[in-house]
Structure 1
Amino acid sequence: MPYWHATRPGQLADQPITAHCLTAKLRRYGLPVVPLRNSALVTLAADLPPSVLSSLLGISLTNALQWTRRAGRDWNAYLASRT
């Protein structure tokens, strides 16, 4: 085994940390995981159209539309300007 081999995920650039490890680290510092995730999704939904959000995150378009509604963003004006 090479000396640069990481023993834990996330130690090297080509070894991403798993969701489980990240959750454990956040909880260790007392950070609530679900509210942080929801805040990140609402922030993205406020900045991106639902179709882009869906493609970027690999979620359904219906789910992306729900997050966009939660963010209070109306993309109708944007879509009208694109035609």
Structure 2
Amino acid sequence: MAVPVTWLFPGRPPGQPASSGFGGKLLEHGVDIRPARNAALIALVEDIPAPILADILGLHINTAVRWANVAKRDWSAYLAARNAMVPP
């Protein structure tokens, strides 16, 4: 007789984000993931210009710019370099 398998983190139907239930389950056990998410976004926006970060993560550009402001990141040098690469 087979023993039923109980998964620690059961999957979601295809097309649904895994985070839709995962964060809630962790919070039920006293683990708040927001500080880690916020720290990860700040670390990313320090290394990646806001427009690229918005495109990669699917964020609205205004959201990425707000995170850049929180991180005190100035991406005007990126815009100048990009404009210099565009042919006239």
Shared fold per TM-score greater than 0.5: yes
The match for 1:4 is none
- Quote the Cα distance in structure 2 between the aligned partners of 1:38 and 1:54: 15
Contact kept? 1:50, 1:65, Cα under 8 Å = yes
Identity of aligned residues (%): 35
Query: Displacement of 1:18 after TM fit?
Result: 1.3
Contact kept? 1:9, 1:17, Cα under 8 Å = no
Q: Which runs of 5+ in 2 are unaligned?
A: 1-6
The match for 1:40 is 40
Contact kept? 1:54, 1:64, Cα under 8 Å = yes
The match for 1:60 is 60
- Quote the Cα distance in structure 1 between the aligned partners of 2:78 and 2:58: 22
RMSD: 2.7
Corresponding residue pairs, total? 74
5 Å matches for 1:15-54?
18-24=18-24, 26-27=26-27, 30-54=30-54
